[in-house]
Chains A and B, each alone.
Chain A
Amino acid sequence: MANVGVVLISHSSKVAEGTKDIISEAVSDVKVIPAGGTEEGGIGTSAPKIQQALEEADDGAGVILLYDIGSAGMNAEMAVELTERKNCYIAEDIPLVEGGYVAAVEAGMGKSVEDVLSSLRKSFSS
């Protein structure tokens, strides 16, 4: 049974990739795909780039998408609407680094995408 995948969306490719590095220290059997920066590598986000990342992250168990600020959330929504994959969930109002870490750990335990999302909500509800 495949594990849930994780997509890390940031305005900066360095932030997305650095976050993946932190997570990879602890979790190895989960696909964590960074989607940072614009298509030209500038500061910003891109819906097609995010869509590509979520399709790469999905092994059939679904995907959790985490994002940093502003338009990243809007582009995440667009990517989810554009893809034909099911079970793609955006973790709203969840911090990218800490949330990405929790999501990957939970996914590594073989939890369903719904369970990973509800763990995230519990962990970061204030």
Chain B
Amino acid sequence: MVWKVEQAVAWIEKTNALIQSNKEYLTELDQAIGDGDHGLNMSRGFQEAEAKVSSTDYDTIADVFKDTATVLMSKVGGASGPLYGTAFLKMSMVLKGKDPVTQAEFADAVEEALNGIKQRGKADQGEKTMIDVWHPVADFLKNGQNVQAEKLEETAQQAMENTKDTLATKGRAAYLQERSRGHVDPGSTSSFYLFQALADVWKEGA
């Protein structure tokens, strides 16, 4: 996998498409164990992010991710704004001056994004948050030279589904204690769409 600006832009576009078509589902998931605004917040944020990156000429991938971060931070509103904003900001920092981006560099960027999310959210793996998807994906990308897009998607999907049986200890869902079990985590689901979109870009020959 080698990435240029157009793949980075396509990633944001495809993520937005998945978020828009699953907006109601994300809202349902969040109504079950959160405050019910995840679908609306994510659809507004990624709509604006796509509008921004599709209409701008970029020289570097770092700049695509920096603009994505800025838009998500200012437009999302809920906890996802600073968390996804931090993730893209960290990726932008790691990838600065690296064009085109290799798989190893991209893996470093995702790992740093994961660290940023953990620090910002003061959370760790196994607490029924988006970290439960980011962590295995970051590990997956770091392992092996020629990782496959299908495997990436599978890893993210499995990780998302695993959050169903986990007890929430962070965020609004933590107030529900045992009742948070049996529901898939909304933030893990939107993170799955992000990595599903990544796999799609990859399959198209990144």
Which residues of A are interface residues toward B (Cβ below 8 A)? Answer: 38-39, 42-49, 70-71, 74-75, 77-78
Contacts and interface: CB of A to CB of B under 8 A. Distances in A.
A77 B120 contact: yes
A75 B172 contact: no
A78 B37 CA distance: 21
Contact of A74 (B70, B74, B121): B121
Interface in B64-98: 70, 73-79, 81-83, 85-86
Nearest to A45: B77
Given A38-B77, A44-B41, A46-B74, A70 B171 contact: yes
A105 B41 CA distance: 37
Nearest to A74: B82
A74 B73 contact: no
User: Considering the complex of A and B, which 4 residue pairs feature the smallest CB-CB distances, nearest first?
Assistant: A44-B77, A71-B79, A74-B82, A38-B77
B28 to A, nearest CB: 19
A39 B78 CA distance: 12
A77 B37 CA distance: 22
B77 A43 contact: yes
Nearest to B119: A77
A48 B72 CA distance: 11
B165 to A, nearest CB: 24
B177 to A, nearest CB: 17
A78 B85 contact: yes
A39 B75 contact: yes
Contact of A42 (B77, B121, B171): B77
Contact of A70 (B74, B85, B172): B172
Which of B79, B86, B171 has its CB near the most chain A CB atoms (within 10 A)? B79
B77 A78 contact: no
28 contacts: A38-B77, A39-B74, A43-B37, A43-B77, A44-B37, A44-B41, A44-B76, A44-B77, A44-B78, A44-B81, A45-B77, A46-B73, A46-B77, A47-B85, A48-B70, A48-B73, A49-B74, A70-B78, A70-B79, A71-B78, A71-B81, A71-B82, A74-B121, A75-B73, A77-B82, A78-B73, A78-B82, A78-B120
